[in-house]
Amino acid sequence: MKNISILGSTGSIGRQTLEVISDNTDKYNVVGLACGSNLERLREQIIKYKPALASVKDRDLAEALKAQINGSQTEIVYGEEGAARVASHEDADTVVSAMVGASGLKPTLSAVRAGKDIALANKETLVIAGEIIMKEAKEKNVTILPVDSEHSALFQALQCGDKKDVKRLILTASGGPFLDTPVEELRDVTPELALNHPTWIMGKKITIDSATLMNKGFEVIEARWLFGLGSERISVWIHPQSIVHSMVEYIDGSIISQMGIPDMRIPISYALSYPDRTDMRTNDARPEDFTELSFREADFEKFPSLALAFGALREGGTMPSVMNGANEVAVDAFLRGQIGFTEIIKTVDRVMGLHNKAAADTLEAVTQSDKWARDMAESLIKN
Q: Does position 200 have pLDDT exceeding 70, yes or no?
A: no
Q: What is the pLDDT of residue 202?
A: 72
**Cis preceding linkage at 275, omega within 30:** yes
Strand 94-97 and strand 75-78: pairing? unpaired
**Contact assessment for residue 210 and residue 201, using Cβ atoms and an 8 Å cutoff:** no
Give how far Cα 186 sits from Cα of 15, 29, 205, 345, Å: 32, 45, 18, 12
In DSSP notation, 43-93 reads HHHHHHH--SEEEESSHHHHHHHHHHTTT---EEEEHHHHHHHHHT-TT-S
Tens-digit pLDDT profile for residues 307-346: 999 999 999 999 999 999 999 999 999 999 999 999 999 9
The residue-averaged pLDDT of 110-122 equals 97
Report the SS3 class of residue 249: strand
Q: What is the pLDDT of residue 101?
A: 86
**Percentage of the chain lying above the pLDDT 90 cut:** 91
Q: Output 71 or 188, whichever has higher pLDDT.
A: 188
Where in the chain is CATH 3.40.50.720?
A: 2-146
Tens-digit pLDDT profile for residues 121-166: 999 999 999 999 999 999 999 999 999 999 999 999 999 999 999 9
Q: What are phi and psi of 316, to 5 degrees?
A: 70, -155
Confidence of residue 201 (pLDDT cuts 50, 70, 90): low
Instruction: Return the CATH architecture of domain 2-146.
Output: 3-Layer(aba) Sandwich (3.40)
Q: What is the pLDDT of residue 223?
A: 98
Sign of CA dihedral 309, 334, 325, 59: negative
Beta strands in 134-261 (DSSP E): 144-146, 166-173, 234-238, 244-250, 255-259
Where in the chain is CATH 1.10.1740.10?
A: 316-383
The residue-averaged pLDDT of 45-55 equals 98
The residue-averaged pLDDT of 20-38 equals 97
Q: What is the pLDDT of residue 281?
A: 85
Q: What are phi and psi of 374, to 5 degrees?
A: -65, -45
**Contact assessment for residue 207 and residue 195, using Cβ atoms and an 8 Å cutoff:** yes
Q: Output 377 or 197, whichever has higher pLDDT.
A: 377
For the domain covering 316-383, report its CATH number: 1.10.1740.10
User: What letter does residue 285 receive in the DSSP assignment?
Assistant: P
What is the residue type of 15? R
Q: Output 282 or 39, whichever has higher pLDDT.
A: 39
Tens-digit pLDDT profile for residues 99-109: 988 899 999 99
Q: Does position 383 have pLDDT exceeding 90, yes or no?
A: no
Q: What is the pLDDT of residue 322?
A: 98
Confidence of residue 282 (pLDDT cuts 50, 70, 90): confident
